Structure formats: structure tokens, C-alpha cells
Amino acid sequence: MDEITLTIDGQEVRVRKGTSLLEAARGAGIYIPALCHHPDLKPTGSCKLCIVEVEGWDTYPTSCTTPAEEGMVVRTKTEELQEMRRHAMEMILALTNHPTTCLFCERKDECTDLRECMRKLPITVGCKYCPKDGECEIQEAVEYVGLKQVRYSTAYPNLPLLREPFFDRNYNLCILCGRCVRTCEEVRGEGVISYKVDYHRQHRVEPISLASSDCKFCGACVDACPTGALYARFEKWGKPENTLTTTCPFCGVGCQMEVGVLDNQIVRVRGKRGDTPNNGQLCVKGRFGLDFATSPDRLKTPLIRKEGGLFPASWEEALNLVAEKFSQYRGDGFALLSSAKCTNEENYLAQKFGRLVMETNNIDHCARLCHASTISALSAAFGSGAMTNSIGELKEANCLFVIGSNTTEQHPVIALKPKEAKKKGAKLIVANPREIELCRIADLWLRHKPGTDVALVLGMCQVIIEENLLDEDFIRERCEEFEEFKDSLSDFSLEEASRITGVEASLIREAARLYAQHRPSSIVYAMGITQHSHGTDNILSLANLSLLTGNVGRPSTGINPLRGQNNVQGACDMGALPDFLPGYQRVQEAHLRNKFEDAWGKKLPDGPGLTVVEMFEAIHEGKIKAMYIIGENPYLSDPDSNHVTEALKKLDFLVVQDIFPSETASLAHVILPAASSLEKEGTFTNTERRIQRVRKVLEPVGESQPDWEIICQLAQKMGQKEGFSYSSPSEIMDEISKLTPIYRGISYERLDGAGLQWPCPDASHPGTPYLHKDKFTRGKGKFHVVRYRPSLELPDKEYPFLLTTGRLLFHFHTGTMTRRVGDLNYLRGEELVEINPQDAQSLGVEDGELVEVSSRRGKVRAKARVTERSPQGVIFMTFHFAETPTNVLTNPALDPVAKIPELKVCAVKLNKVGG
Ligand code: SF4
Ligand code: SF4
Ligand code: SF4
């Protein structure tokens, strides 16, 4: 039996076996003070405040460390317990010299004149100055136990306030409970602060900024602190008068956050606990990066280009102009870029506008640059192009194979799962040319050459077949074309894989054994795999690997592409793609297209449209004349960006709809100011296919409007009254669910809790945590014959280095949002070109010196960072910084199937500037 029954303070309580007495009591609404306890941490019982009486026991156990047992009779608030707690509390306060004015001053509530206090004590002590006043766990505990004074003399430590990026550390208020230290270690796996090193109490001697440590500024320690010792600065503005749950506007993890607002300012952000993708955790961007929404740079009115620049205009004037101009370009002379930053409802309307009003399938968005190859490959192998399993399942895997994903920087909250799995004994294989943080805890790090993933994975498949580590039953019953795949490996040896990848054959063999023998095994990948001219092949080879070993269709297995932007999954689901209507229904298939034609009342274009990179080519060829770009910044994000910029300049008419005047917007004829996702209602779909609510926590800035409202007004001005008149995003979702089988069971009423994972085929369906359970979406799992093909532009005499690109923890995408957050900029304010020390030495480049990186397409100057993280011959840069637009260098060569460009590999040369 999993449940037990006990009695607490006379109340019968049923809990799961293994629940502590403290959790059992709190679950039943019974408060027991516990200052060292936190639900995310292993209990220690060190503060002693949570002692209880258990009938028949002759000791007073600490309830946080004592498991509940069947039939126990527990008392939590006897006079004896309270007396002991008062002693314990008094000791905690005395020994840590915690100020007591906030606890015992009788005049506290009516006090308006703080001068008296301030004469005696520094202002950081006065009760009204402690940001935690009224919410402090010490105050709550002191009141509960009835402590009226501390009898021992204490000396106010008078330590300096330590100002970190985003939060302050005031160790005058620290009670040494250890929650911050343990959270950093146990929950975040960082171990940045400790009692032993300089970053904690030793600051009394020599303050050292966390900015010079490995701190990730996730804020988990701040949230765990029971006192005002660690406190987010923006939260000092006041207590929220309204708190709503919404979805993080940054990456595809889809963390749920509780956002508190006072006077239309965000004054509190917490990760939502419970059944959410993040269970209370956030990363630095979600926890501290929402300031972008109130940046003075926000677009506040429409702008129209007139002679001499862009000038403010009324909505009426701007929309009339756009409607009139767009009417002249209906058909394939028009292209639309929708946005992975916009909601599902807005993406649905954007593609509906493109197809129905503008009569073209030239619709795409940034998924083309990140996961187009995922859709093409996983659809071919399994029948569905999304993450097969759920984020939470990763921690239960016995083996995780993380390839081409710098998870700790790009999906920081998902990165907590491999760390958790490792603690439970799972094996971790990391394949990455760069030394990423996960390499430090990996059982095996395969440092293959960039662009050789297919050879690496084929080598692993070869070993699995040769050593008979395959799941023959699974292959026989659930797969097809295995023999063809097996035969194709006859002319590919492990030695060949080793030669191509640069990884020792024995390590590839070991990786294959770990993956095949520690089931369930799960594959995690990101753009290190997808952004290649052979991106589709990379993913097909991973699909082969999972099919070979039966590691798909079960919990904690599968292939898990980590989606980059907050709603890139949703934008794909909604059909912001040139070849798919919502729900991956092909535009070419008449019966699917007819369904939409019937619903929307008009014939739709029937051939696939152009993809992002093809659109810019078509502008150069004079085929596309007008463009509508919603929330994208191709000026910085697309490969060979000089070529893109030239294309944008050639357009007859360019409309950019965004929240900031992006680099792309600077070329527009009309700019339409959009509301941010904090200022509107809707839904996002995260990387694990979970549709979650986005809620309006702030009023829109200036005259900005939600994208869905702008699109509707524009369509109506263009004569399309039908189908663009909605009272709310919920009504749009109702239309989406009618036309999209995988979303059929979705409605706002059902999304209030943890959201729902598609496919959700009807209103009573609970959603699908993992795909392909008994049957693949396409029927059988299909093996594909895949051959290694080198990247299309490799280093040569003229351009001897290989450039690979990626992202950083502290910034997001093209930086339009995160570059406007002061402390994120403080933590990283410029591009640094990573170069291996041996390469640096041969070029005579020192760390911090200015270098020029050039490719066949352009050049960029930035400072060098000399680091072993980059292997010899490989240079790493990001694309966050407009001042140093890395994508002028990258190669627009496309994967022939997915049309994703080869952003991860191109040839460059590097020179010291002035050298
Ligand atoms: S902010 Fe995060 S990484 Fe930094 S000390 Fe706190 S818990 Fe550790
Ligand atoms: S800073 Fe806060 S969480 Fe850390 S030991 Fe002190 S009181 Fe506890
Ligand atoms: S991990 Fe992603 S979704 Fe979560 S807080 Fe960070 S940026 Fe937001």
C-alpha cells in the first residue's frame, strides 16, 4: 500500500509512504516552524524548530527528518514544544546577531518616524527597511512560538551590503540556515557559494562579487532565503497588488512564472512550483530579465517612412497605408515572416492572413533556421516532428545522450534534469566539439569535429549491431527497412567513423555500449545537430540509433529536440510554414486544404511557398516585392546577413511589426508597435508540446497593440471582414481546435492548470506525455539509409579556421530583449571570439585583443577570448550583438530537404587588428 494514515493534532491525515511528518502536517494545513527546511532540499533538522511529540516516543524528533508512519499520533504545539522552540529561536537570533527591531519593537506598526531607530542602528536594520518585512519566515516563527525578547546581548555585525547583478546580499540578516548554499548545490548543481569559500560568510572579511565566480544568477538561492539577507533589488519597490501565472517569454522550456505587479511595474517573479516544466526553478533571463518590457526603447506609436526618416503616425494612417500597399502585392510577390515570439493564436492568424488575404504560401518563421530539419527527419522516421518525450522524464533516464546541445546555457532549466539523473546514477554521454558545462559531469565526452555527427552516430550504430546490443523484438514488431539500413553499414567501419570524427574508436564503442545497455536511454539535441546542410541526415541517424535499441515509445526514452524560442513549437504547429497548414496538414493535399477553404470561405493557394532563405533570394531576383515581418530580426539572425540586408533594402514595401525598433525595423517603410507577451492573453506551446497560457500582467506600452488585434484590423481594412473578427484569443483557439486534429481537445478552460501536451484529440483527452506508445504516428518506425557528407564549406589555405556559432546564458537570440536589461549587459556586454590557446599563440593573439574574423561573405571585429573550450582550429561566436553581427560570416548553404542553412559550420580566417 502506498498510503498511510496518521493523526496530527487530532486530525486524521492520509499521506504517501515516505512523507515526512513536517510535509504531512503542512499538507494538512498545520503550520510547524522550520527555518532550515525547504521543500526542494534534503532535510537536515538543524534549526530544531520543527520538533514534535509522537505518542509513545521518549524523544522530540525533528519533523522534517522523521517519516510519517501508519498509526502515528503526533502533537505539534504543546507548551513544552513551544518552550523548547523559544529557546532554539532565541539562540538562532543571538548566535547570528540578527537584528530584533523588526521582531519585537512594540511601536513598529504605528511607527512613521524612523530617526530614533536610525540613531541607534544603521538603516539596513530598521524594520521598515528590510525588504522581507511582513513576509519573513523569522517573523512568522517568532510570532508562532511567542518569543518576546532575546535575553543575550548581541552585536550588530554592520557588514557592508554586497550589490550583485540583480540582487543584494546583506549578511547582517543571515541566520546561517544554509538554504542558499544547499539550493545552489543540490537543486542547481552549481556549488558556487559555500560556508568554506569566499562567496558566503567570509564576505565579512573580504567581499568578492559573485560576478567573478561561476554564479549563473538564477536567483534560486535568493528564493530559498527565509530572511531579507538575499533579496532581488527590483522586488524592493513594493509588494505586488496582483499576481498572475504566465509563461516565460524567452526560451522553449516554457517555464511557468508567477509575476507580481504593482502600479504596472513588475515587482516580483517566482518560478511556479508543482506540475510545471520548471517546478519552481527559473534561469537568469526568466527570473530577472523581464525588465525589457518597460524599457524606454519600446515602440510606442506606429511609424511611417517619409523623406528624412521614420515619423510617428496614427494607427488609422499606418494601417490604411499598409492595407493599400499590401493590396497591390497579393500573390507570390508577397512574403510573410511570422514569429516564434508571438502566441499560437497570433501565428494562426498570421498564416491565415498570408494564405487567405494575401493569397500566398510564402509564409515562414525562424524555425527554418533552427529546427526545420527536426520536422523533416522525425516526420519521415516516426510520423511526427516534435520532442517525443517530456522534460520531466529526462531525470528518470538511465542514460542520456546529449549531442549538439549546450543545454546549461540555452535551456538552463532543462539542464537541471541530466544533473538530477546523474545523481541517481544515470550515465551521461556528451557529444560536442566545444567543452560545454555538461562535459564536467559527463561519463563520456565525445569531442568530435563540427559537422561529423552522422559519422559518429553511424559508428555507434555499427557497434550496436556488431555486438548484438539491439532490441530485436522491437525492430521486428515496430520498425521497417531495418535490413536496408543494416546492409548500408557494411561498407562503413568504426575506424572510418573515428577517422572522420577525430574521436578514438574505443570511445565511440563505449558510447554505443552505454547508450544501448543502460535503458531507458534518451537522446537530447539542439541546434548543434540541426543547423547543417546535412541536418536532416543528422537527425535521421539519431532516429536510427533509437529504433535499433527500442529507445522510443516508452517513458524516459526517445529523441528530444530542444526548441529555441518560447513558441517556436507553436508557430510550427500553427502552420507558419510554407508547406503546412495548422497541425502539419500539407497544403498540397486537396482534402486537407479543402477543410480550411470550407471553414474560411475562400480558395487557398495550393503549392508550397518559399522558405526564409529562399525568400531573400527571391527578393534579389525581383520575384518578391513586399514583405510583412512580425517579431523577427533577419538582419541579425539569418546567414550571410549582408545579403539579407541588401534584399530588405530592395523591397518596394516592408512592414515590420515588433516591440522594439530592431535592426530589421530600421529598414521598414512602416513599423507597427506590438504589445509584448507580458501585455496580452494567449498560449505558447513549449518544447515538450505543452500548450500553456500566456496572461496579461502589464498594460501595453504606449499605443502598442497585441499582434492578433493588429492582424485582424489589417485584414478587415483589406476587405476581409469574415474570419478576422474575434472578441478574444480564446475564441481564436476555439477555431484552431476545430481545424487542427492534434489541438482538437484544447480550450482555455482546460489550460488553467499544467497545460496540455498535444496530441490532444478530444475534450476529455488528458494530453500525451510521450509519443509513439504502441504505434508510431506513421505506423512503423522507419530506418533510413544515411551516408556521411562533409559540411559544404570547410577550412582551406585561405580561410583556415572553422567557425561555429551558438548562444550564451545571459542573452537571447538577437538580443533585442536581453540587451535592454542592464545587468544582463553587465554580465556580458559584447561579443568575444573564442579561440584555442595554440591557435592564439600561432597568430600572436592575446586574450582580450581585437581580432578581425573574415569569411567569403563578410568580416567582423571583436575581442578574442583565448580558451581551451574551443578545440584547435575551431572558432566560436554568438549572434547576440548587433555591433558585431556574426551572421555576416555564416554560410547560407541549405539542407536540401529541410532548407535549413548551415549556420554551424563555415570557413573563416582570423587576424589580429593592427598586428
Ligand atoms: S544565483 Fe544560482 S548559481 Fe548563483 S549562487 Fe545563487 S543558486 Fe548559485
Ligand atoms: S543568506 Fe539566507 S538562505 Fe543563506 S544562510 Fe543566510 S539566511 Fe540562510
Ligand atoms: S529556462 Fe527558458 S523558459 Fe525557463 S526561465 Fe530560462 S529562459 Fe525562461
Does 200 have pLDDT greater than 80? no
Give the model confidence (pLDDT) of 685-705 as tens digits. Answer: 999 999 999 999 999 999 999
Backbone angles phi and psi of 51, in degrees to 5: -60, 150
Nearest ligand to residue 286 Cα: 3
Give the model confidence (pLDDT) of 453-491 as tens digits. Answer: 999 999 999 999 999 999 999 999 999 999 999 999 998
Give the separation between CA 453 and CA 788, rounded to whole angstroms. Answer: 8
51 pairs with which residues across the strands? 62
Residue 380 cell numbers, joined? 519521415
pLDDT band at 682 (very low <50, low <70, confident <90, very high): very high
Q: Whose CA is nearest to atom 2 of ligand 3?
A: 251
Does 108 have pLDDT greater than 80? no
Which of the two residues, 27 and 211, has the higher pLDDT score?
27
- Residue 855's alpha-carbon distances to 483, 616, 905, in angstroms, are 43, 20, 11
Give the separation between CA 484 and CA 451, rounded to whole angstroms. Answer: 25
Q: Say what percent of the chain tops pLDDT 90.
A: 80
**Can you say whether residue 34 is alpha, beta or left, with left for phi > 0 and alpha for psi between -120 and 50 degrees?**
beta
| Other Cβ atoms closer than 10 A to 69 | 12
Q: What pLDDT score does 385 carry? A: 85
Estimate the share of the chain in helix, then strand, then coil, as percent rounded to the nearest 5: 35, 20, 50
Give the model confidence (pLDDT) of 374-431 as tens digits. Answer: 989 999 999 988 999 999 999 999 999 999 999 999 999 999 999 999 999 999 999 9
- The tally of CA atoms less than 13 A away on the side-chain side of residue 699 is 7
Stated pTM of the model: 0.93
Give the separation between CA 540 and CA 786, rounded to whole angstroms. Answer: 7
CA angle 568, 574, 579 (to 5 degrees): 95
Does 125 have pLDDT greater than 60? no
pLDDT band at 111 (very low <50, low <70, confident <90, very high): low
The residue behind cell 537568469 is 284
Whether the Cβ atoms of residue 781 and residue 478 lie closer than 8 Å to each other:
yes
In three-state secondary structure terms, 403 is: strand
pLDDT band at 201 (very low <50, low <70, confident <90, very high): very low
Q: What pLDDT score does 851 carry? A: 96
- Residue 565's alpha-carbon distances to 216, 276, 814, 817, 891, in angstroms, are 20, 18, 11, 12, 22
- Ligand 2 atom, smallest distance to 179 CA: 3
Nearest ligand to residue 203 Cα: 2
Q: Say what percent of the chain tops pLDDT 70.
A: 96
Average pLDDT over the chain, rounded to an integer: 92
Q: Whose CA is nearest to atom 6 of ligand 2?
A: 174
Residues with CB under 6 A from ligand 3: 248, 250-251, 253-255, 278, 282-283, 285-286, 411-413
Q: What pLDDT score does 803 carry? A: 95
522 pairs with which residues across the strands? 400
Whether the Cβ atoms of residue 501 and residue 452 lie closer than 8 Å to each other:
yes
Give the model confidence (pLDDT) of 818-876 as tens digits. Answer: 999 999 999 999 999 999 999 999 999 999 999 999 999 999 999 999 999 999 999 99
Between the CA of 172 and the centroid of ligand 2 the distance, in Å, is 10
Does 205 have pLDDT greater than 50? no
The residue behind cell 539596513 is 124
Q: What pLDDT score does 120 carry? A: 56
Q: Is the peptide bond before 520 cis (omega within 30 degrees of 0)?
A: yes
Give the separation between CA 638 and CA 369, rounded to whole angstroms. Answer: 7
- The whole-number average pLDDT for the span 290-307 is 94
- Nearest by Cα to 652 from 403, 364, 329: 329
Does 342 have pLDDT greater than 50? yes
Residues with CB under 6 A from ligand 2: 174-180, 224-227, 229-230
Q: Whose CA is nearest to atom 1 of ligand 1?
A: 217
Give the separation between CA 495 and CA 503, rounded to whole angstroms. Answer: 10
585 pairs with which residues across the strands? 581
Query: What DSSP letter does each residue of 429-485 carry, written as one string?
Result: EEE-SS--GGGGG-SEEE-PPTT-HHHHHHHHHHHHHHTT-S-HHHHHHHEE-HHHH
- Nearest by Cα to 250 from 868, 808, 911: 808
Q: What pLDDT score does 127 carry? A: 62
Does 203 have pLDDT greater than 70? no
Backbone angles phi and psi of 657, in degrees to 5: -115, 115
**Can you say whether residue 323 is alpha, beta or left, with left for phi > 0 and alpha for psi between -120 and 50 degrees?**
alpha
Give the model confidence (pLDDT) of 168-178 as tens digits. Answer: 998 888 898 99
Question: Would you give the distance in Å from CA 470 to the centre of its chain?
Answer: 34
Could you tell me where the DSSP H helices lie in 762-861? Answer: 822-827, 837-843
Quote the DSSP letter at residue 412.
T
Q: Whose CA is nearest to atom 2 of ligand 2?
A: 225
pLDDT band at 206 (very low <50, low <70, confident <90, very high): very low
Q: What pLDDT score does 124 carry? A: 45
Between the CA of 523 and the centroid of ligand 3 the distance, in Å, is 21
pLDDT band at 110 (very low <50, low <70, confident <90, very high): low
Whether the Cβ atoms of residue 858 and residue 888 lie closer than 8 Å to each other:
yes
Nearest ligand to residue 251 Cα: 3
In three-state secondary structure terms, 229 is: coil
- Ligand 1 atom, smallest distance to 222 CA: 6
In three-state secondary structure terms, 67 is: strand
In three-state secondary structure terms, 165 is: coil
- Nearest by Cα to 410 from 387, 390, 438: 438
Q: Each residue of 396-417: b (16+ CB within 10 Å) or e?
A: bbbbbbbbbbbbbbbbbbbbbb
Q: Whose CA is nearest to atom 4 of ligand 3?
A: 255
Q: How deeply is 504 buried, as exposed, middle or buried, from its count of CB atoms within 10 A (0-12, 13-18, 19+)?
A: exposed
Widest CA span of the chain, in angstroms? 89
334 pairs with which residues across the strands? 626
Using only the alpha carbons of the chain, give its radius of gyration: 29
Give the model confidence (pLDDT) of 882-895 as tens digits. Answer: 889 898 899 888 88
Give the separation between CA 596 and CA 141, rounded to whole angstroms. Answer: 61
Query: Picking from 57-66, 100-109, 181-190, 552-561, which range would have the lowest pLDDT averaged per residue?
Result: 100-109
866 pairs with which residues across the strands? 835
Query: What DSSP letter does each residue of 530-589 carry, written as one string?
Result: HSSTTHHHHHHHHHHHHHHTT-SSSTT-SEEEPPSBTTHHHHHHTT-SSSEETTTEETT-
Give the model confidence (pLDDT) of 56-85 as tens digits. Answer: 999 999 999 999 999 999 999 999 999 999
Q: Which of 182, 201, 217 to mutate to test the pocket of ligand 1 (most atoms within 8 A of CB)?
A: 217
Whether the Cβ atoms of residue 745 and residue 751 lie closer than 8 Å to each other:
no
422-428's contacts with Cβ under 8 Å and 24+ in sequence apart are: 424/395, 425/398, 426/397, 426/398, 426/399, 426/400, 426/518, 427/398, 427/399, 427/400, 427/514, 427/518, 428/399, 428/400, 428/402
Helix axes 453-466, 494-501, angle to 10 degrees: 160
- Ligand 3 atom, smallest distance to 250 CA: 7
- The whole-number average pLDDT for the span 581-589 is 95
Q: Is the peptide bond before 759 cis (omega within 30 degrees of 0)?
A: yes
Between the CA of 2 and the centroid of ligand 2 the distance, in Å, is 35
Q: What pLDDT score does 85 carry? A: 97
According to DSSP, the β-strands at 444-446 and 580-581 are unpaired
| Other Cβ atoms closer than 10 A to 698 | 19
**Can you say whether residue 575 is alpha, beta or left, with left for phi > 0 and alpha for psi between -120 and 50 degrees?**
left
Give the separation between CA 807 and CA 181, rounded to whole angstroms. Answer: 28
Residues with CB under 6 A from ligand 1: 183-184, 188, 190, 192-193, 210, 215-221
Quote the DSSP letter at residue 267.
E
Between the CA of 225 and the centroid of ligand 2 the distance, in Å, is 5
Does 192 have pLDDT greater than 60? yes
Between the CA of 194 and the centroid of ligand 2 the distance, in Å, is 11
Amino acid occupying residue 627: M
